[in-house]
Chains A and B, each alone.
Chain A
Amino acid sequence: MALKKLDVRGAKCPIPIVKAKKEMDAMAPGDQLEVTATDPGSVPDFQGWVKTAKHALLKEQRTEKDEGGKELYIHLLERR
């Protein structure tokens, strides 16, 4: 099992999902992808996308703020 990280801070929809899809397509079932985003809309978007794509959303975490003062949204996904 591999864990990849994807940084999409500052990107607005659809970019986070477009990039996450590209990464996931290149991964093997069971591999995990940790996406770090700043767009609050990424939370319902990732929830919706994993349902459509039939991947798993293992964890969603909102951190307080990064060094730039932005709230971060971390999505941990697993390729199915």
Chain B
Amino acid sequence: MADIPDDAAEVPVPTVEVGSLLPRLDRGEKIVLLDVRNEEEFDSWKVEARRPVETVHVPYFDFIEDADASIAKVPCDRDVVVLCAQGGSSEMVAGMLQEAGIPSANIKGGMIAYGVYLEPVRFPLAPGEADRFELWQVNRRGKACLSYVIVSGGEAVVVDPSRHVEWYEGFAVERGARIVRVLDTHVHADHVSGGPALARRRGVPYFVAAGEGFELDQPVTPLADGQRVRVGGEKGVSIEMRVIRTPGHTPGSTSFLVDGTYLLTGDTLFVASVGRPDLGGHVDLWGRALFDTLRRRLADLPGETRVLPAHYGGTSEISPEGLVWGRLGDLRQSVPEMRIATAEAFVEAVRSAVKDPPKAYAEIIKVNLGAPATEEKISEWELGKNQCAAAASKSAGA
């Protein structure tokens, strides 16, 4: 019978970083993911990739209680990577497997690391655009949250950053740009924004609109509907971002139109659904506002407009290049809510699709409005995937 190590931390086992594992799972490499979390955590939040992930679930306490029977459940003809909540139990189990002769590696940091990992993907721009700017979609895979970095003429604007602000600072340096402005499309309910902290650290303007009924306790540089923000200037290279108020998901929701073509919609319009307008408890009022935004405020934008949202619902929404986007003209046809003709029917549709709100959303909203919170609490609230769309979407293999 395999021994249970006295101190799991002392068993040397190979480790694998989330950032190197995910591309391998995306490519469909033959890897077995052994998830050793308890059932509750396993059921509520899983590692997803662009191809179905072969997952075996055996809780770590089963390995403690009956090592031999548990080890027998692990396929031994493929690479095994072991996952738990924080990386401690998976390290113990990977050690037991190694001892039993099954090559295995521990996923460093577990689901916590998965939940904060950021993957930058460059949007392939047209030749006339690519010499003026770069557009990066930063995918927070574990939460299916998308943020954006727009680089032009030595300057960078960051939109909807997650709270791991050092990452964006490092990324801007890598791209040879200084961050000059930080924008949030709305007061997020599913994750704590890095916007205020990033703007404070760089000493640059920060924008978010909370909207009516919310008291914002953050220093904000207001932007008016229709206002144009210039990015760049070095060597005569620059672009414009246009501010478009798009209330509905929240009363303050704002979209940003980059260089006339790329529309960062936040949670207003996703590629398979629309933002849920129920989180404020005014589904009728906010739902009507969202209908008006989608049918009227965005009506003038050409079908060729590229929609780049702040979330996706499932890996099926990720393109082969690893991007989440859609042509506005296509989405007007393919997103069910976009085809509803009347405000009444629209409100009814989003009302009937209402599901559980994001975990700890009330607390997260408070922090994004400016209330203090400890890192430990934020980390606990942010566990799990986002629940921001009005309708559920499918994941690969699900």
Residues of A within 8 A of B (CB): 12-15, 17-18, 21, 40-41, 44-45, 47-49, 52-53
What are 26 inter-chain pairs, A to B, with CB distance below 8 A?
A12-B86, A13-B84, A13-B86, A14-B61, A14-B88, A14-B89, A14-B92, A17-B60, A17-B61, A18-B4, A18-B8, A18-B92, A21-B4, A21-B65, A41-B41, A44-B39, A44-B40, A44-B41, A45-B59, A47-B38, A48-B39, A48-B40, A48-B59, A48-B61, A49-B59, A52-B65
A12, A40, A52: the one contacting B59 at CB < 8 Å is: A52
- Distance (Å) between the CB of B206 and the closest chain A CB? 31
Inter-chain contacts of B40 with A (CB < 8 A): 44, 47-48
Q: How far does the alpha carbon of A14 sit from the alpha carbon of B90 in the complex, in Å?
A: 9
Q: Closest residue of chain A to B59, judged by CB?
A: A48
- Distance (Å) between the CB of A76 and the closest chain B CB? 17
- In the bound complex, do residue B380 and residue A40 qualify as a contact, i.e. CB atoms below 8 Å apart? yes
Inter-chain contacts of A52 with B (CB < 8 A): 59, 61-62, 65-66
- In the bound complex, do residue B88 and residue A13 qualify as a contact, i.e. CB atoms below 8 Å apart? yes
Inter-chain contacts of A53 with B (CB < 8 A): 61, 65
Q: How far does the alpha carbon of A28 sit from the alpha carbon of B138 in the complex, in Å?
A: 56
Inter-chain contacts of B92 with A (CB < 8 A): 14, 18
- Asked whether B100 is an interface residue with its Cβ less than 8 Å from the other chain, the reply is no
- Asked whether B85 is an interface residue with its Cβ less than 8 Å from the other chain, the reply is yes
Q: How far does the alpha carbon of A62 sit from the alpha carbon of B60 in the complex, in Å?
A: 23
Count of chain B residues with a beta carbon within 8 Å of a chain A beta carbon: 20
Q: Is the interface of B mostly helix, strand, loop or mixed?
A: helix
Inter-chain contacts of A12 with B (CB < 8 A): 86, 88
Inter-chain contacts of B335 with A (CB < 8 A): none
- In the bound complex, do residue B64 and residue A17 qualify as a contact, i.e. CB atoms below 8 Å apart? yes
Q: How far does the alpha carbon of A40 sit from the alpha carbon of B8 in the complex, in Å?
A: 20
Q: Closest residue of chain B to A13, judged by CB?
A: B89
Inter-chain contacts of B85 with A (CB < 8 A): 13, 41
Q: Closest residue of chain A to B69, judged by CB?
A: A52
- Distance (Å) between the CB of A8 and the closest chain B CB? 13
Known A17-B64, A40-B380, A49-B64; further 10 A-B contacts with Cβ < 8 A = A13-B84, A14-B92, A15-B88, A18-B8, A21-B4, A21-B64, A48-B38, A49-B59, A49-B65, A53-B65
Q: Closest residue of chain B to A46, judged by CB?
A: B61
- Distance (Å) between the CB of A16 and the closest chain B CB? 10
- In the bound complex, do residue B66 and residue A45 qualify as a contact, i.e. CB atoms below 8 Å apart? no
